[in-house]
Amino acid sequence: MIGRTIVSILIVGLLSSAGIGAANAEDRNAAVQQATKAADAWLKLVDEGNYRESWQQAASIFRGKITPEGWETLAKATREHTGALISRKFELAAYATSLPGAPPGQYVVIEYEASYANIKSVIDKVTPMLDTDGQWRVSGYWIQ
């Protein structure tokens, strides 16, 4: 049983060494708002079991690291472990221009306090990025 250890679902990096970009505060705030909206929509797909669609809606870097079949298998296995989502509450978001193991870009690392049927208290971390098409899309997702 994994318990409270990190369930690494995709590979983008850790918040602790995230770089903060030169963008002004207004630009960063707008980025955080757009990224949070994208993360919420993407999480809804995952929560509803729409894993293929969540893969299609994910950032190009995400899609380049895992096949749709691989993502569906991994997401299903993770959800079987955690059980159904009971609640998720936004906690914080941080804008970054670099993350370990990820190319330079614009990222927002978002943390949600979450509760699942089988694991009562976890942190869901979602990392949207400004993708090549100019849209904010999820590039990483972890359950801690």
CATH number at residue 28: 3.10.450.100
Tally of domains within the chain: 1
| pLDDT at residue number 25 | 87
- Establish if 1 belongs to a structural domain: no
Please report which residue ranges of 1-144 form alpha helices under DSSP H: 25-47, 51-57, 60-65, 68-82
Token representation of residue 67: 């096949």
The whole domain housing 85 covers 7-143
Query: How far is it, in rounded angstroms, from Cα 27 to Cα 41?
Result: 21
| pLDDT at residue number 4 | 27
- Establish if 124 belongs to a structural domain: yes
Please report which residue ranges of 48-100 form alpha helices under DSSP H: 51-57, 60-65, 68-82
Query: How far is it, in rounded angstroms, from Cα 131 to Cα 16?
Result: 22
End-to-end CA distance of the chain: 13
- Establish if 12 belongs to a structural domain: yes
Residue 101 has pLDDT above 80, yes or no: yes
Distances (CA, A) of 140 to 10, 24, 45, 68, 111: 5, 24, 14, 15, 12
pLDDT band at 23 (very low <50, low <70, confident <90, very high): low
Q: What is the pTM of this model?
A: 0.83
